Amino acid sequence: MGRKSTVIPGSRSGAHPRSIIRIALCGFLVACSTDGSPLGRPSSQGVSPISRLTAQAQFAYSIRGPYVTTCGTKHRKVTLASGDVTIHFKEDCGVTGNVRVPGVTNLQSPPQYMILCQGPMESTSQALCNYGSPSYTDCEQANSTFWYDTMKLIGVGGTTRTDFISRIFPLKFSSSTLIVAANLYGLCVIDFDSGSIMQDDFASDHAVAPSGDTVHLKVVLPPSYGSSFQDNDTMLLFFESKPAG
C-alpha cells in the first residue's frame, strides 16, 4: 500500500495580532470557528461536529501561534512494565479516554515504552508520531472515520519483539460530541510497517454500542502475532461509526 500524508495549510501572512489573540483565547475557552466566533452543535446547515473539529485543528496548525490551545494532535510517552500500564489520553477536542497496555513478559533494560498519539486528523507534525500512514480505504467503514490514534512500541534493549501477557488492549473513548447514542462504533487497526489490516471491527461484526457518551473498544493482536508485537513498529487506530440497524 502507498503512503499518504495530509498537507496542512501554511501560515496566513499579515494576520492582525488582535485577531490571533482573539482566536487563541476563544480556543482556550470554547471551540471556535476560524473567524473567532463560537462553534456550537451542528446547525441547520448540516455541518457535522467532526468537520468543525477537523477544520478547527487545521486552522490551529496553520497559524502556529504560541497561544493556540485549540484541538490538534497530542501524544503521551509511557514506560511499559511487567504489569498492566494505562495510558490516558490528553484531553483534546473534548475527547478523553485511555488504553490499557498488558504487562510485558520479556521486559528489557532499559524497558520498552509506548507512544500514544491522538487527534482528529490522520497526519501529525509531532516528531514522536508517524507523518502519514498506509492507506486505510480497505477498512469496512473507512469513510466514517472520525478519530485517529497511533500506538508506537519502542524497544531499546536489543530484542526484536515485545511479548505481552495478553493479546487484548482495552480502550475507552469518551466524547459528548463525537459519540452518538444511535450509532455503532469500532476500530480498524493497521500495522504501519506491513500496511496490513490487523483488525476491522465492522468487517468482523464486532462493532459495539456506546454507553452514554463513552464507547468501550479493544485492540486485539491477531492470532498470527500471538501476544507479541514488533519493536519500533506502530499500530494505526482508526475510529469508525455507522448508524445502528
For the chain, the structural domain boundaries read: 15-63, 74-243
Distance in angstroms (rounded) separating the CA atoms of residues 50 and 93: 10
Contact 25, 67 (CB under 8 A): yes
Residues 106-133: tens digit of each pLDDT: 999 899 999 998 888 765 455 566 556 6
Which runs of E-coded beta strand occur in the chain? Answer: 3-4, 74-79, 85-88, 96-101, 113-119, 133-134, 147-154, 161-163, 168-174, 183-191, 197-200, 214-220, 228-230, 234-243
* pLDDT, tens digit (0-9, with 9 covering 90-100), for 42-95: 333 444 444 444 444 333 333 333 323 357 667 889 999 999 999 998 777 889
- pTM for the full model? 0.70
- pLDDT for residue 63: 31
Using CA atoms of 213, 99, 72, 91 in order, give the dihedral in degrees to the nearest 10: 60
Of the candidates 70, 69, 45, 67, the residue with the CA atom closest to the CA atom of residue 55: 70
Q: How far apart are CA 146 and CA 241, in angstroms?
A: 8
Give DSSP secondary structure letters for 91-127: PBTTBEEEEEEPPBSS--SSPPEEEEEEESSS----T
Taking the domain 74-243, which CATH number applies? 2.60.120
- Positive/negative CA dihedral, 62, 66, 67, 72: positive
